């Protein structure tokens, strides 16, 4: 009969099972096995007091029953009585050293006491005895989660969740792992599972609120957090969530205050410390962010993500040596954490240690980080294996890029383009390069068409009297179309002793040369007008500490020919250096390598039309100012000494000597090229046929 009752119990027919157990106890009130089973059933029904009384009586009657002692441990643990739970689990273990559940229970007690090493040891023993031990899988998953090893945590908690779909604790742990991976839909389903079984479960409610925060559903999240605080449950988590809401809404001081409250409630609340440091850094207090986070890591060293955040903040501040030392310390603590190795590799790359970065990236190749896959793809390209580069780039889970800066996907497309180019798949390369441009926010500067009337007006204005009393050395205007290689020539000029290359015009427009065009410049300008323009030009140079005797190279990203007469008159003696390459090569280089100034073409044909228009402005400028035209490939070649000398003479020096900046400008990220070889555009004649047709009658600056 007892077997039949146990089957009813297992089937969830609790009323029938309970009636049967009580009938048996009526006949034999000291039947330890039945008392134990009825105690379990009463616990399932929420009557923990009677459940505990029944199981304790069973344990007294059968003191050598390890399973009964384990059940006592479970009941004590459910009410937070860790000492009693630990004692019961230990008795169970002594009675039956092979009882995996006893080790699982001891692991839970150790974990709740903060002794993760002891907890891990017990969980591993339990898992060796039963590879499907849900408690051990969950415990090890939670430990991995706490240590920041999200991949390992996800693997373990997924296995546990599949084995115990109706366990709220396990489902909540799984939901947290999914959240950490950014898989919101999976996390939501696990939270729903937990709350269906136990609607008032605080941890699951907190995760539900975090899901609302991730989806920017502020009122829903706020209501849950306020409810938790009112009940005094999950206080540190709720305060952290309120800080996250304030941070997302730009209320940074409120966010810091909430994070501080979270850390007062739970000093080891790593997410609060990490996000607090992020807010400090965002608001310009990066030194304080680093100092506070360093103190937190020293006080609570057992969390990989806190170490990682400290290293990232140090990297952000340009303190690479300290950042790399922090990564090394973290790796020593968690040698199996692939994500730490991946981030360390990326920092090495950013710090300029390309070879070390690539070596470590291969060690961490299992990491799903898109940036690491791109680093490894770059390594494959440099090693002459473009097929491997394509494979690595195509394996990136694009969902991971959805909330990331567009530059990551832009970088992926450019790397794909370079890989396809190396494989001689010209159309695929062109398509990838074009996609990268469409991901760039900055459009093309507007330039007017130069009709005959406007040209005549500009020639007339340029012939009028210039400023009588000029101050400072006349500037050298450096101009080049996107893809022309002008940056390499700028680096060559910056290498010359005593020269100053003005680069800030890509970000600001401080004077009439690079400001939105002022139509008054097309009218006659008096000496007073010219003096005012000259002062406006000199003022930012004075603020930058540029001496009047310094030879000035003014790098103009886009020269509007309408300002050239005013330049000629207000800045007497100004000269023009135009950097130019073969037009089809120029378009391809702009398409493939972008431009450091961010100009993006909507499509290759639009880019070709704009190049022609911008070139017409440079051609007219070359008619109005003394000019020198130079191809960077010829200028910087080993055989380019004669050309460098001629350019030097034009600029008033004996010769131009390439230096460190020139060498740096000739190398791209991690050793990739900065342009294609001359004539490479011929391979794209079919892939870019319409755009190239537009350039076939290109009028290069004369």
Contact 330, 314 (CB under 8 A): no
Q: What is the pTM of this model?
A: 0.71
Q: Which of 439, 462, 497 is the C-terminal boundary of a domain?
A: 439
Quote the pLDDT of residue 607: 94
Question: 232 versus 143: which is more confidently predicted?
Answer: 232
Quote the pLDDT of residue 627: 94
Give the number of C-alpha atoms closer than 13 A to the C-alpha of residue 451, restricted to the C-beta side.
1
pLDDT band at 494 (very low <50, low <70, confident <90, very high): very high
Q: Lowest-confidence range among 387-391, 544-548, 639-643?
A: 544-548
Quote the pLDDT of residue 531: 92
Per-residue b or e along 462-482, where b marks 16 or more CB atoms closer than 10 Å to that residue's CB: beeebbeebebbebbbbbbbb
Question: Average pLDDT in the 131-152 region?
Answer: 75
Rg (CA), the chain: 35
Quote the pLDDT of residue 455: 95
Contact 561, 621 (CB under 8 A): yes
Quote the pLDDT of residue 114: 65
Residue 545: inside a domain: yes
Residue 30: inside a domain: no
Question: 335 versus 222: which is more confidently predicted?
Answer: 222
Residue 559: inside a domain: yes
Give the number of C-alpha atoms closer than 13 A to the C-alpha of residue 28, restricted to the C-beta side.
12
pLDDT band at 626 (very low <50, low <70, confident <90, very high): very high
| 636 and 497 co-located in one domain | yes
pLDDT at 619 over 80: yes
pLDDT at 556 over 60: yes
Residues across the chain: 702
Phi, psi of 234 (to 5 degrees): 50, 45
Average pLDDT taken over every residue of the chain: 87
| 428 and 458 co-located in one domain | no
Q: Which of 331, 365, 301, 246 is nearest to 116 (CA)?
A: 301
- In angstroms, rounded to a whole number, what is the distance separating the alpha carbons of residues 72 and 78? 10
Q: Which domain holds residue 412?
A: 368-439
pLDDT at 300 over 80: yes
Residue 27: inside a domain: no
Residue appearing with tokens 């401080």? 510
Q: Lowest-confidence range among 2-11, 109-118, 195-204?
A: 109-118
| 608 and 527 co-located in one domain | yes
Q: Which range scores top for mean pLDDT: 116-125, 184-193, 441-450, 484-493? A: 484-493
Supply the CATH number for residue 416's domain.
1.25.40
Q: Lowest-confidence range among 34-38, 376-380, 448-452?
A: 34-38
Quote the pLDDT of residue 324: 95
Question: Average pLDDT in the 66-73 region?
Answer: 89
Supply the CATH number for residue 466's domain.
3.40.50
| 560 and 626 co-located in one domain | yes
Question: Average pLDDT in the 545-556 region?
Answer: 86
Q: Which of 610, 557, 574, 563 is nearest to 454 (CA)?
A: 563
pLDDT at 112 over 80: no
pLDDT at 104 over 80: yes
Quote the pLDDT of residue 508: 66
Q: Which of 411, 439, 467 is the C-terminal boundary of a domain?
A: 439
Beta carbons within 10 angstroms of residue 567's beta carbon? 25
- In angstroms, rounded to a whole number, what is the distance separating the alpha carbons of residues 51 and 500? 84
Q: Mind listing the pLDDT tens digit for each residue in 76-97?
A: 876 667 788 889 999 998 988 8
Question: Average pLDDT in the 607-625 region?
Answer: 95
| 603 and 673 co-located in one domain | yes
Quote the pLDDT of residue 46: 67
Q: CA dihedral defined by 449, 453, 455, 461, rounded to 10 degrees?
A: -130
- In angstroms, rounded to a whole number, what is the distance separating the alpha carbons of residues 337 and 296? 21
- In angstroms, rounded to a whole number, what is the distance separating the alpha carbons of residues 187 and 57? 41
User: 627 forms bridges with which residues in the sheet?
Assistant: 576
How far is C-alpha 415 from the geometric centre of its chain's CA atoms?
18
pLDDT at 702 over 50: no
pLDDT over 90 percentage in the chain: 48
Residue 676: inside a domain: yes
Q: Lowest-confidence range among 108-112, 137-141, 432-436, 600-604?
A: 108-112
- In angstroms, rounded to a whole number, what is the distance separating the alpha carbons of residues 352 and 573? 41
Q: Mind listing the pLDDT tens digit for each residue in 576-596?
A: 999 999 999 999 999 999 876
Tell me the Ramachandran region of residue 114: left when phi exceeds 0, alpha when psi lies from -120 to 50, beta otherwise: left
| 651 and 598 co-located in one domain | yes
pLDDT band at 139 (very low <50, low <70, confident <90, very high): confident
Quote the pLDDT of residue 701: 45
| 511 and 624 co-located in one domain | yes
| 466 and 429 co-located in one domain | no
Query: How far is the first Cα of the chain from the last one, in angstroms, to the nearest whole number?
Result: 105
C-alpha distances in Å from residue 69, one per residue of 57, 255, 525, 649: 11, 47, 99, 95
| 508 and 574 co-located in one domain | yes
* Structural domain count of the chain: 2
| 678 and 536 co-located in one domain | yes
pLDDT at 148 over 70: no
pLDDT over 70 percentage in the chain: 94
| 430 and 495 co-located in one domain | no
Q: Which of 389, 415, 439 is the C-terminal boundary of a domain?
A: 439
Residue 167: inside a domain: no
Residue 505: inside a domain: yes
Q: Which range scores top for mean pLDDT: 197-206, 516-525, 535-544? A: 516-525
Question: Average pLDDT in the 380-392 region?
Answer: 95
Query: At 383, is the secondary structure helix, strand, or coil?
Result: coil
Tokens in use for 52?
Answer: 């505990």
Tokens in use for 84?
Answer: 């009693």
User: 630 forms bridges with which residues in the sheet?
Assistant: 579
| 467 and 421 co-located in one domain | no
Question: 97 versus 381: which is more confidently predicted?
Answer: 381
Q: Mind listing the pLDDT tens digit for each residue in 659-671?
A: 989 888 888 777 8
Contact 367, 149 (CB under 8 A): no
Q: Mind listing the pLDDT tens digit for each residue in 216-259?
A: 899 999 999 999 899 888 899 899 999 999 999 999 999 999 99
Query: At 341, is the secondary structure helix, strand, or coil?
Result: helix
- In angstroms, rounded to a whole number, what is the distance separating the alpha carbons of residues 37 and 20? 11
Residue 487: inside a domain: yes
* DSSP string computed for 602-645: SSHHHHHHHHHHHHHHHHHHHHHS-EEEE-HHHHTSTT-HHHHH
């Amino acid at each position: 009969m007892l077997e039949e009752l146990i089957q009813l119990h297992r089937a969830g027919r609790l009323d029938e099972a309970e009636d049967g157990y009580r009938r048996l106890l009526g006949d034999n009130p000291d039947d330890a096995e039945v008392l134990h089973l009825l105690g379990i059933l009463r616990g399932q029904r929420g009557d923990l007091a009677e459940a505990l009384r029944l199981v304790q009586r069973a344990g007294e009657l059968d003191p050598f029953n390890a399973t009964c002692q384990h059940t006592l441990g479970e009941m004590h643990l459910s009410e937070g009585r860790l000492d009693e739970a630990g004692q019961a689990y230990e008795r169970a273990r002594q009675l039956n050293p092979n009882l995996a559940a006893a080790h699982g229970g001891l692991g839970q007690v150790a974990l709740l006491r903060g002794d993760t090493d002891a907890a891990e040891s017990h969980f591993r023993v339990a898992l060796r005895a039963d590879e499907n031990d849900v408690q051990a899988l969950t415990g090890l998953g939670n430990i991995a989660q706490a240590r920041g090893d999200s991949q390992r945590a996800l693997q373990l908690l997924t296995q546990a969740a599949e084995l115990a779909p109706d366990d709220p604790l396990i489902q909540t742990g799984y939901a947290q792992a999914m959240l950490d991976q950014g898989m919101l839909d999976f996390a939501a389903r696990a939270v729903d599972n937990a709350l269906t079984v136990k609607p008032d479960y605080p941890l699951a409610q907190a995760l539900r609120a975090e899901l609302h925060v991730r989806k920017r559903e502020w009122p829903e999240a706020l209501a849950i957090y306020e409810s938790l605080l009112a009940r005094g449950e999950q206080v540190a988590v709720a305060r952290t969530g309120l800080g996250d809401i304030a941070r997302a809404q730009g209320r940074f001081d409120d966010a810091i205050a909430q994070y501080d409250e979270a850390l007062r409630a739970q000093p080891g609340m790593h997410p609060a410390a990490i996000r607090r440091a992020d807010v400090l850094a965002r608001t310009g207090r990066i030194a304080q962010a680093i100092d506070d986070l360093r103190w937190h890591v020293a006080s609570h060293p057992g969390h990989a993500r806190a170490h990682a955040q400290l290293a990232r903040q140090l990297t952000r501040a340009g303190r690479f040596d300290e950042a790399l030392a922090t990564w090394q310390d973290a790796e020593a603590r968690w040698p199996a954490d692939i994500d730490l190795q991946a981030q360390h590799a990326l920092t090495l790359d950013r710090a300029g240690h390309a070879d070390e970065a690539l070596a470590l990236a291969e060690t961490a190749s299992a990491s799903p980080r898109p940036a690491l896959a791109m680093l490894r793809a770059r390594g494959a390209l440099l090693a002459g294996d473009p097929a491997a580069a394509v494979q690595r780039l195509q394996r990136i889970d694009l969902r991971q890029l959805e909330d990331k800066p567009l530059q990551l996907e832009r970088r992926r497309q450019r790397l794909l383009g370079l890989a396809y180019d190396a494989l001689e798949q010209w159309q695929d390369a062109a398509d990838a390069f074009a996609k990268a441009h469409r991901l760039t926010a900055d459009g093309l500067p507007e330039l007017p068409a130069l009709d005959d009337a406007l040209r005549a007006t500009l020639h007339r204005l340029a012939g009028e009297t210039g400023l009588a009393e000029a101050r400072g050395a006349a500037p050298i205007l450096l101009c080049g179309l996107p893809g022309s290689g002008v940056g390499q020539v700028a680096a060559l000029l910056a290498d010359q002793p005593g020269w100053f290359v003005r680069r800030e015009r890509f970000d600001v427009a401080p004077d009439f040369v690079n400001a939105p065009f002022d139509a008054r410049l097309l009218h006659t300008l008096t000496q007073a007008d010219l003096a005012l323009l000259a002062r406006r030009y000199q003022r930012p140079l004075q603020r930058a500490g540029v001496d009047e005797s310094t030879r000035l190279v003014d790098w103009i990203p886009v020269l509007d020919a309408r300002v050239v007469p005013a330049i000629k008159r207000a800045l007497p003696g100004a000269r023009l250096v135009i950097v130019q390459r073969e037009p089809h090569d120029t378009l391809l280089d702009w398409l493939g390598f972008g431009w450091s100034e961010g100009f993006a073409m909507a499509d290759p044909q639009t880019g070709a039309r704009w190049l022609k228009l911008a070139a017409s402005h440079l051609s007219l400028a070359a008619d109005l100012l003394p000019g020198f035209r130079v191809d960077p490939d010829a200028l910087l070649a080993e055989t380019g000494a004669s050309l460098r000398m001629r350019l030097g003479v034009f600029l008033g020096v004996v010769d131009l000597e390439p230096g460190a900046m020139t060498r740096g400008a000739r190398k791209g990220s991690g050793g990739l090229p900065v342009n294609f070889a001359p004539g490479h555009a011929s391979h794209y004649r079919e892939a870019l046929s319409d755009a190239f047709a537009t350039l076939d009658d290109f009028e290069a600056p004369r």
